[in-house]
Amino acid sequence: MRFDAGVVLKLAIWSFLVGLLLYWLEWSPGDVYGWIADKLAAIWNWLVGSGLQYVLLGATIVVPIYLITQFKNRRRGG
């Protein structure tokens, strides 16, 4: 990764534009990071809560089919 004058200038311009947008929206960096943290926590809660429920529900069908298939294959091969 190189940091020549062009890269520094682009970073400065983008930082200025994003800063203007944040100022216009009256958001602070803490608000943005807090929002991101809240979304990640919500995703985690869904995965642990509802998502796990869906996995267990699907496993009631998938696991027996897998076990029956493995049992049949072992009987043929053995």
Q: Residue type for 9, please? A: L
Helix (H, G, I), strand (E, B), or coil: what is residue 2? coil
Does residue 78 register a pLDDT over 70?
A: no
Does residue 39 register a pLDDT over 80?
A: yes
The encoded tokens of residue 47 equal: 């995965």
**Confidence class for position 23, pLDDT limits 50, 70, 90:** very high
Of 1, 39, 32, the C-alpha closest to 18 is 32
- pLDDT of 77: 75
Distance CA 9, CA 14 (A): 9
